C-alpha cells in the first residue's frame, strides 16, 4: 500500500516496521487517552503503547516533575553512577511499593528494554543454579533478543533468530491442554527422572499472557508451580513487564496469589511516561552478580527515574487510585462479557479473556479479529489483536482513562463487532 502521506517511511524506513502498518496514521500529539493525527483526526487509545502508557499520554503530574528536572539541568545520562534521581526512585519504590507489600528485594537496573531485563533474569538464574535449562510456557512472549526469544513460543518470532534457540524447554500453561487437564501435574511428571528433561535453572512465566493471547494463571496453579520450582531447586521468575505496574488492577499481577517469586521483571509502564526503563527485582539471597557482569550503557535512565518516582507517588501511595481503577475494571468487564455473549450468537467459541485492564475477546479467527480492529480504527479507536493465531481482540486502556472516554471507546468497539459479524452472517445467508 503506497500512500503519498507515508512515502518517507515507505522509502527509507526498514520493512521491519509493524504496528504502523495496521494503524496507518501520522501522529501529531497525544494527551491522556486521546491521540491526534496530523490531519486532526482523533483516536481513542485502547492500546497504550502495548501497555507502556498505563497513565496515558503526557500524564500531567509526571510531566511537571520531568520538566522541572530538565529545567534544572538534572543529569540525563550517567551510566550507573550514583545520582540523586536514582536514589529518590529507589527510596520511593521501596517505601511505597515493596515494604507495604512485605516484599524484600534488591533492584537491578538492566538495559532499558524489557527483553534486556529478561536476559538478565535468565543469566542470573543460570548463574545461581549452575544449570542451563529454563522452563517457559506455551504461548509465552518474553522479548526478541536471542535469550528471551528462546523462551518465546511464537514460531514467526523465533524464525527471525537466524541461529538455533536453545536452553529452554516449553511446558503447557494452565489449561493449555484443555479445561480439565491438569498441566501442572503433567509438568511434575515430566520433571521426574525418566521424563528426560534437564533440571531447570528457572521457571519463567507471565501471569497474564500479553502477546500470546491473554490466558491467565490461577493462584492455586501458580502456588503449585512455585512449590515445584522449590522442590527442584529452580528459581521462579515472573515476567511482569506487561501485566505489572497496575495493569492487573494491583501494582503486581500476582498480588494476593500468595507467591514470592525469586526474580520479577518490570519494564513497559515502569517509567509511567513511556520512557525506556527496565528493572529486575531480585531476591537478595540470589544477588550474586560480579560488578559489571550484566553491563549496559543505558542502565537506569535518570529521566525515567524522575517520572517513575512521580508515578509511584501520584498513583500508588494512597488507595484511592486502585479503588477507582477497580470500579472501571468492573464496568469494562461487564461490557466485554456482554459483547462476548452477543458474539457467541455468530461465533460459538467466542469468549472473554484476561484480567484487570488487560482483557479482550477471542473471536475465533485472525480474519475476524483483524477486521474488527480495522473497523474500530476507521471509526477512531486504536485496539490491537493478539494470540499466536491473532484471534483475540485485546484491550489495554490507560488506567487513568476517564469513564466517559472508556464508554465511548467501547461503543465504537461494539459497532465494529456488529459491522464485521453482521457482514459475516450476511455472507453466509447469501451463500446458503
Ligand X SMILES: *Cc1c(COP(=O)(O)O)cnc(C)c1O
Binding site for ligand X (CB under 6 A): 113-115, 118, 141-143, 206, 210-211, 239, 241-242, 267-268
Nearest Cα residue to 347 out of 430, 420, 429? 420
Q: Cα(68)–Cα(85) distance, rounded to whole angstroms?
A: 12
- Least CB distance from residue 423 to ligand X, whole Å? 32
Instruction: Kindly tell me which of 243 and 302 has the beta carbon lying closer to ligand X.
Output: 243
CB atoms within 10 A of CB 387: 23
- Least CB distance from residue 141 to ligand X, whole Å? 5
Q: Cα(31)–Cα(38) distance, rounded to whole angstroms?
A: 14
Q: Cα(276)–Cα(76) distance, rounded to whole angstroms?
A: 13
Instruction: Kindly tell me which of 239 and 314 has the beta carbon lying closer to ligand X.
Output: 239
Q: Which regions of 32-160 does DSSP assign to beta strands (E)?
A: 34-37, 42-45, 106-109, 134-137
- Least CB distance from residue 414 to ligand X, whole Å? 27
Instruction: Kindly tell me which of 143 and 249 has the beta carbon lying closer to ligand X.
Output: 143
- Least CB distance from residue 272 to ligand X, whole Å? 15
- What does R_g of the chain's alpha carbons equal in angstroms? 22
Instruction: Give 427: exposed, middle or buried? Use CB within 10 Å, 0-12, 13-18, 19+.
Output: exposed
Nearest Cα residue to 317 out of 93, 106, 107? 93
Residue nearest to ligand X (CB): 114
Nearest Cα residue to 403 out of 335, 311, 306, 301? 335
Instruction: Kindly tell me which of 69 and 252 has the beta carbon lying closer to ligand X.
Output: 252
Chain position carrying cell 498441566: 183
- Least CB distance from residue 262 to ligand X, whole Å? 17
Instruction: Kindly tell me which of 18 and 323 has the beta carbon lying closer to ligand X.
Output: 18
- Least CB distance from residue 99 to ligand X, whole Å? 26
Instruction: Kindly tell me which of 174 and 211 has the beta carbon lying closer to ligand X.
Output: 211
CB atoms within 10 A of CB 340: 20
Instruction: Kindly tell me which of 118 and 416 has the beta carbon lying closer to ligand X.
Output: 118
Chain position carrying cell 500512500: 3
- Least CB distance from residue 145 to ligand X, whole Å? 7
Q: Cα(6)–Cα(29) distance, rounded to whole angstroms?
A: 17
Amino acid at each position: 500500500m503506497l500512500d503519498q502521506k507515508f512515502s518517507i517511511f515507505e522509502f527509507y524506513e526498514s520493512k521491519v516496521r509493524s504496528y504502523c502498518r495496521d494503524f496507518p496514521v501520522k501522529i501529531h500529539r497525544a494527551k491522556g487517552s486521546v491521540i491526534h493525527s496530523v490531519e486532526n483526526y482523533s483516536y481513542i487509545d485502547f492500546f497504550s503503547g502495548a501497555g507502556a502508557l498505563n497513565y496515558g499520554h503526557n500524564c500531567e503530574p509526571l510531566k511537571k516533575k520531568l520538566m522541572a528536572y530538565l529545567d534544572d539541568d538534572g543529569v540525563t545520562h550517567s551510566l550507573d553512577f550514583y545520582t540523586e534521581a536514582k536514589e529518590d526512585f529507589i527510596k520511593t519504590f521501596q517505601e511505597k511499593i515493596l515494604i507495604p507489600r512485605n516484599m524484600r528485594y534488591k533492584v537491578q537496573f538492566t538495559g532499558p528494554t524489557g527483553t534486556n531485563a529478561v536476559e538478565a533474569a535468565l543469566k542470573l538464574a543460570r548463574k545461581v543454579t549452575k544449570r542451563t535449562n529454563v522452563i517457559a510456557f506455551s504461548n509465552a512472549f518474553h522479548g526478541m533478543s536471542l535469550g528471551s526469544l528462546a523462551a518465546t513460543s511464537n514460531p514467526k518470532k523465533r524464525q527471525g533468530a537466524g541461529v538455533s534457540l536453545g536452553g529452554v524447554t516449553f511446558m503447557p500453561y494452565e489449561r493449555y491442554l484443555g479445561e480439565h487437564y491438569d498441566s501442572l501435574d503433567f509438568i511434575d511428571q515430566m520433571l521426574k527422572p525418566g521424563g528426560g528433561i534437564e533440571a531447570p535453572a528457572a521457571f519463567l512465566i507471565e501471569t497474564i499472557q500479553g502477546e500470546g493471547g491473554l490466558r491467565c494463571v490461577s493462584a492455586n496453579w501458580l502456588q503449585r508451580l512455585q512449590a515445584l520450582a522449590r522442590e527442584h531447586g529452580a528459581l521462579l521468575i515472573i515476567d511482569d513487564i506487561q501485566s505489572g505496574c497496575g495493569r492487573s488492577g494491583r501494582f503486581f499481577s500476582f498480588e494476593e496469589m500468595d507467591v514470592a517469586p525469586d526474580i520479577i521483571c518490570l519494564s513497559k509502564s515502569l517509567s509511567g511516561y513511556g520512557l525506556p526503563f527496565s528493572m529486575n527485582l531480585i531476591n537478595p539471597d540470589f544477588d550474586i552478580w560480579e560488578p559489571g557482569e550484566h553491563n549496559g550503557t543505558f542502565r537506569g535512565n535518570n529521566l525515567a527515574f524522575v517520572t517513575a518516582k512521580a508515578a509511584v507517588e501520584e498513583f500508588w501511595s494512597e488507595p484511592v487510585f486502585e479503588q477507582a481503577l477497580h470500579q472501571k475494571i468492573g464496568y469494562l468487564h461487564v461490557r466485554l462479557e456482554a459483547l462476548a455473549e452477543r458474539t457467541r450468537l455468530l461465533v460459538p467459541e467466542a469468549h472473554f479473556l484476561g484480567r484487570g485492564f488487560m482483557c479482550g475477546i477471542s473471536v475465533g479467527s485472525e480474519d475476524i479479529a483483524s477486521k474488527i480492529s480495522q473497523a474500530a480504527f476507521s471509526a477512531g479507536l486504536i485496539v490491537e489483536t493478539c494470540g499466536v493465531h491473532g484471534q483475540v481482540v485485546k484491550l489495554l486502556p490507560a488506567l487513568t482513562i476517564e469513564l466517559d472516554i472508556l464508554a465511548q471507546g467501547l461503543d465504537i468497539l461494539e459497532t465494529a463487532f456488529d459491522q464485521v459479524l453482521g457482514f459475516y452472517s450476511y455472507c453466509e445467508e447469501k451463500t446458503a
